[in-house]
Amino acid sequence: MKHKYSSIMASSLTKVVSVAAIATMALNIIIPDHKQSETENRPLQTFPSWNTEHVLSGQYTKDLNTWFSDQFVCRDQNIHIKYLIQKTFGVKEIQDIFLTKQGLIEKTAKPNKEQLERNLNAINTFKQNYPELNVGFVTAPNAVSIKKEYLPKYAVTLNQDKQMDNIYSKLDDSIVKIDLRNTLKKHKDEYLYYKTDHHWTSLASYYAYQDIAKTFNLETTKQSDYTIYPVTTNFEGTLANKTGSVNIKDEIDIYVPKDKCDYVITDESTNKKSRTIYHSDALETKDQYTVFMGGNKALFHINVDNNSKRHLLLIKDSYANSLIPFLIPQFNSITVIDARYYFEDYKRLIKDDLITDVLFMNNANTFVQDTSLADMLEAN
């Protein structure tokens, strides 16, 4: 009797699951595809178009599976529910992101050793080719390094301090090496990193600028020299997108010098000019961090109305976007390159823009995996 009852229950459960699967598939087909996930801030796979080549290669099946996963009914809600369940049951790591009392902290990135050596050699060669230029190098440590005491107990991640020590040791002595770690660790309990994003905050950029100024012969400043505006308090960044976290929000502040200087910024990809690096329209989008510079572009020119004789070439990643406001008053012009998107002749820029100073600025996790910097420096 018991066996018969179990068989009936198993049969009923199978029918329920089958009906649910068919209903879900039907809903996925009926409901129009979403092109973008607001939660994950990434494009979604739409229903794949059929062709013989894709079917025979197996690509069509892969795309179809991705479509079903991406367009699954209530996908975004399920991501949030999954996060809450995992957190409730004590999970401390999701997709290489630690869940901590200080917010979400990304693991130390695994280096691309061959490419890292190539990038460092390319930077050293760059300095040898331009001995007359004042060349500086700064790597921004990530939260996993500065706030490591806040990581979950028994958390396993690579040692970023060792990675950075190795990087600085392989740079030529003629390059100005700017190490921010001691300064940031002194302020580690302050709001240096966003709780939901991999970037550092404007406060961290302020502290970083003071170290850069001291070693790069620029004017240091005080916080009282700026008016600090909180432009949003509901920022959810890349780490929130990956984990599906809920009830964690960030504030983005901008630092505006009280002693203002006029400047014009030109986005060379569109040839559009502006009198501010801030893009308020970005605050109405998912990626609010693009309030700085409007996001990552290949090339910007910033021309400043001051008496400085110095012209900076800044070769950077997105960490530098919130640092640029502090640099602007110190130079007559700043040429900003993101090597991930720039494929032109940088040597022409050095000549045409009368460059006197060069600053390489990347965060550690990006730099140890970068595959574009050496390509740009070695080209032409």
pLDDT at residue 165 tops 80: yes
Task: Report how far residue 137's alpha carbon sits from residue 182's, in angstroms, rounded to the nearest whole number.
Answer: 16
pLDDT above 70 covers what percent of the chain?
Answer: 78
Task: Locate all alpha helices (DSSP H) within 227-310, ordered by sequence.
Answer: 238-243
Kindly report the backbone phi and psi dihedral angles of residue 310, in degrees, each rounded to the nearest multiple of 5, phi listed first: -100, 140
In total, the chain counts a number of residues equal to 380
In the block, residue with structure tokens 């823009």 = 353
pLDDT at residue 44 tops 50: yes
Sorting pLDDT into bands at 50, 70 and 90, what band is 91?
confident
Task: Give the pLDDT confidence score for residue 9 in this predicted structure.
Answer: 47
Q: What is the mean pLDDT of residues 93-120?
A: 95
Bridge partner residues of 98 (DSSP): 93, 105
Paired sense of beta strands 176-179 and 226-235, if any: unpaired
Q: What is the pLDDT of residues 169-183, one digit of tens each?
A: 999 999 999 999 999
Task: Give the pLDDT confidence score for residue 269 in this predicted structure.
Answer: 86
Residue type, position 306, single letter: N
Among 323, 314, 337, 318, smallest CA distance to 268 is for: 337
Task: Report how far residue 317's alpha carbon sits from residue 308's, in angstroms, rounded to the nearest whole number.
Answer: 25
Q: What is the mean pLDDT of residues 357-376?
A: 96
pLDDT at residue 247 tops 60: yes
Paired sense of beta strands 134-140 and 357-363, if any: parallel
pLDDT at residue 304 tops 50: yes
Q: What is the pLDDT of residues 199-231, one digit of tens each?
A: 999 999 999 999 999 999 999 999 999 999 999
Task: Report how far residue 306's alpha carbon sits from residue 110's, in angstroms, rounded to the nearest whole number.
Answer: 43
Rounded alpha-carbon distances, angstroms, from residue 256 to 229, 230, 298: 8, 11, 25
pLDDT at residue 70 tops 80: no
CB 205 within 8 Å of CB 191: no
Residue type, position 351, single letter: K
pLDDT at residue 11 tops 60: no
pLDDT at residue 40 tops 60: no
Helices (H) and strands (E) in the chain, counts: 14, 15
Q: What is the mean pLDDT of the chain?
A: 86
Task: Locate all alpha helices (DSSP H) within 143-255, ordered by sequence.
Answer: 143-146, 160-169, 181-186, 202-215, 238-243
pLDDT at residue 80 tops 80: no
Sorting pLDDT into bands at 50, 70 and 90, what band is 147?
very high
Domain residue ranges in the chain: 2-94, 108-378
Q: What is the mean pLDDT of residues 1-6?
A: 50
Sorting pLDDT into bands at 50, 70 and 90, what band is 66?
low
Report the sign of the C-alpha dihedral through residues 274, 279, 285, 289, in that order: positive
Task: Give the pLDDT confidence score for residue 86 in this predicted structure.
Answer: 77
Task: Give the pLDDT confidence score for residue 138 in this predicted structure.
Answer: 98
Q: What is the pLDDT of residues 265-285, one digit of tens each?
A: 999 988 999 999 999 999 999
Sorting pLDDT into bands at 50, 70 and 90, what band is 246?
confident
Task: Report how far residue 348's alpha carbon sits from residue 100's, in angstroms, rounded to the nearest whole number.
Answer: 47
Sorting pLDDT into bands at 50, 70 and 90, what band is 146?
very high
Residues ≥6 apart with Cβ < 8 Å to 49: none
